[in-house]
Amino acid sequence: MFPISEWYILPAAFLLDLLVGDPAFIPHPICWMGNLISKSEEPFRRLKIPTVVSGGLFTLCMVAVAWAVATAIMALASFIHGDLARVVEILMIWFAISTRSLKKAALAVSDALRMGGIEAARVKVGMIVGRDTSELDERGVLKAAVETVAENLVDGVISPLFFAAVGGAPFAMAYKMVNTLDSMVGYRNEKYMAFGKASARVDDVANFIPARLSVFCVAMANYGLARRWKEILRSAWRDGRNHLSPNAGYPEASFAEALEVTMGGPSVYFGKVVDKAYICEGYKNNPYVPATVESACRLMVWSAAVSLIGAMTLAHVMNMVA
């Protein structure tokens, strides 16, 4: 395990992501992970064992490969020079965070609605959600974008920072493999119900603590913006479990209360209507407007900054006990 060795590594990675994002000209490790998952799925499916077991073995192997490759790279960099190892660690953690890209993708939805109308906005939101967007009205499009910002605060920022603080860049890369597996095979449909079950469950476990920490991050960030942190804590406690996911409801409830909007409700996934409970139903009559997405992005960035401070504190503790 490679615990964070210097205090500046996490903030350097965070600032790189915030200022630079994910440049298209730099090969991204997540793309490599996606290619590995795609090429490895069929060989594991052909194993003469129950599909649930082969899916579990598949998940274990993919996560182990991500951790092992990152560990080997860190070991090689450390062997060459300590400063090189620190640079490599910053770069790997940078690749694991997605604050800027999340903000960019969400704002593209509100911008498309303003400039291109509902059809353009449906296309943009369809690029960041897994539900059917073809029939969404303006409220549905904007709500989907805000829900994505809330959920991905955990997947794209808090969880990577949490695992980086616990076990350095290798743990951050292992987490990103878990998250990528869930996004590719962790579906509740006929094809992946059995094979992707392990990937979905591992993702649930990995995000369990970060999702709940997100409530405090949002509450603290919103305290600086609107001083409504007590209401956020109450709503997250009340509505955090109003979601099919054991984790997504907590950041969604926090954002819903902070923005005074309702999330959840029936959605269409792969042609089927999924009846989801409402989150913060008391705000059901409050409108969604493009500015709601912008407010969600602003809250997400401030919440991410709060989570960075928490991750730096955790990394310091891990170094003390290591």
Q: Is the pLDDT of residue 1 over 70?
A: no
pLDDT band at 24; cut points 50, 70, 90 = confident
pLDDT band at 5; cut points 50, 70, 90 = confident
Q: Is the pLDDT of residue 22 over 80?
A: yes
* C-beta of residue 62 within 8 angstroms of C-beta of residue 166: no
pLDDT band at 29; cut points 50, 70, 90 = very high
Q: Position of tokens 């630079």?
A: 20
> Using alpha carbons only, what angle is made at residue 287 by residues 286 and 288, rounded to the nearest 5 degrees?
130
What integer best gives the mean pLDDT of the chain? Answer: 93
State the average pLDDT over residues 87-114.
97
Comparing 271 with 188, the larger pLDDT belongs to 188
Predicted confidence (pLDDT) per residue in 208-223, tens digit: 999 999 999 999 999 8
Longest dimension (CA), the chain: 60
Q: Which residues does 267 contact at the CB level (< 8 Å), separation at least 6?
A: 131, 132, 273, 274, 276
Q: Which of 113-117, 120-124, 187-191, 224-228 has the lowest mean pLDDT?
A: 224-228
Q: Is the pLDDT of residue 228 over 90?
A: no
What pLDDT sits at residue 189?
84
Q: Exposed, middle or buried by CB within 10 Å (0-12, 13-18, 19+), for 11?
A: middle
DSSP 25: T
Q: Is the pLDDT of residue 88 over 70?
A: yes
pLDDT band at 126; cut points 50, 70, 90 = very high
Predicted confidence (pLDDT) per residue in 134-150, tens digit: 888 999 999 999 999 99
As a whole number of angstroms, the distance between CA 293 and CA 105 comes to: 11
Q: Is the pLDDT of residue 95 over 80?
A: yes
Structure tokens belonging to residue 24 = 């298209």
Q: How many residues does the chain have?
A: 322
What pLDDT sits at residue 272?
67
* C-beta of residue 276 within 8 angstroms of C-beta of residue 263: no
What pLDDT sits at residue 26?
85
What pLDDT sits at residue 266?
75
As a whole number of angstroms, the distance between CA 251 and CA 249 comes to: 6
CA dihedral 288, 289, 294, 298 (to 10 degrees): -40
What pLDDT sits at residue 133?
83
Predicted confidence (pLDDT) per residue in 240-277, tens digit: 999 989 999 999 999 999 999 999 887 766 566 677 88
What pLDDT sits at residue 23?
87
What pLDDT sits at residue 270?
59
